Amino acid sequence: MFQDQTVVITGAGRGIGASAALQFADYGASVVVNDLEIGPADETVRTILSRGGQAIAVAGDVTDPAFPEQLLETAAAEFGGLNVLVNNAGYTWDGMAHRIGDEQWQAILDVHLTAPFRMIRAAAPHLRDAAAAELESGGPTVNRCIVNVSSTSGLHGNIGQANYAAGKMGIVGLTKTIAKEWGRLGIRCNAVAFGFIDTRLTRPQEIQEESIEIGGREVALGIPAKVRSMLDKDIHARIPLGRPATIEEAAAGIILLSSPLAAYITGHVLEVTGGMGI
Ligand SMILES: NC(=O)c1ccc[n+]([C@@H]2O[C@H](COP(=O)([O-])OP(=O)(O)OC[C@H]3O[C@@H](n4cnc5c(N)ncnc54)[C@H](O)[C@@H]3O)[C@@H](O)[C@H]2O)c1
Q: Which atom of ligand 1 is nearest to the CA of 196?
A: 3
**Residue 277 within any structural domain of the chain:** no
**Residue 129 within any structural domain of the chain:** yes
Residue 229's pLDDT band, with cuts at 50, 70 and 90, is confident
Instruction: Select from 257, 276, 254, 252 the least CA-distant residue to 267.
Output: 257
Q: pLDDT tens-digit profile of 44-85?
A: 999 999 999 999 999 999 999 999 999 999 999 999 999 999
Asked whether the predicted pLDDT for residue 20 surpasses 80, the reply is yes
Classify strands 30-35 and 6-9 as parallel, antiparallel or unpaired.
Answer: parallel
> Which residue range is the domain that position 138 belongs to?
6-272
**Residue 21 within any structural domain of the chain:** yes
Q: How many CB atoms lie within 10 A of CB 47?
A: 16
Could you give the CA distance from residue 105 to residue 93 in angstroms, rounded to a whole number? Answer: 8
Number of domains in the chain: 1
Distance 140 CA to ligand 1 centre (A): 35
The residue type of 47 is: T
**Residue 1 within any structural domain of the chain:** no
Q: Looking at residue 49, what DSSP letter applies?
A: H
Q: Whose CA is nearest to atom 17 of ligand 1?
A: 15
**Residue 214 within any structural domain of the chain:** yes
Distance 134 CA to ligand 1 centre (A): 34
3-class secondary structure, 54: strand
Q: Is 131 in the pocket of ligand 1 (CB under 6 A)?
A: no
CA angle (188 as vertex; 198, 150 as ends), nearest 5: 25
Q: Whose CA is nearest to atom 30 of ligand 1?
A: 61
CATH number at residue 16: 3.40.50.720
Distance 15 CA to ligand 1 centre (A): 7
The runs of H, that is alpha helices, within 12-149 are 15-26, 38-50, 67-79, 102-109, 115-124, 130-136
Active site residue 91: no
Asked whether the predicted pLDDT for residue 228 surpasses 90, the reply is no
Q: Is 196 in the pocket of ligand 1 (CB under 6 A)?
A: yes
**Residue 158 within any structural domain of the chain:** yes
Q: Is 104 in the pocket of ligand 1 (CB under 6 A)?
A: no
Q: pLDDT tens-digit profile of 186-216?
A: 999 999 999 999 999 999 999 999 999 988 8
Task: State residue 90's pLDDT score.
Answer: 98
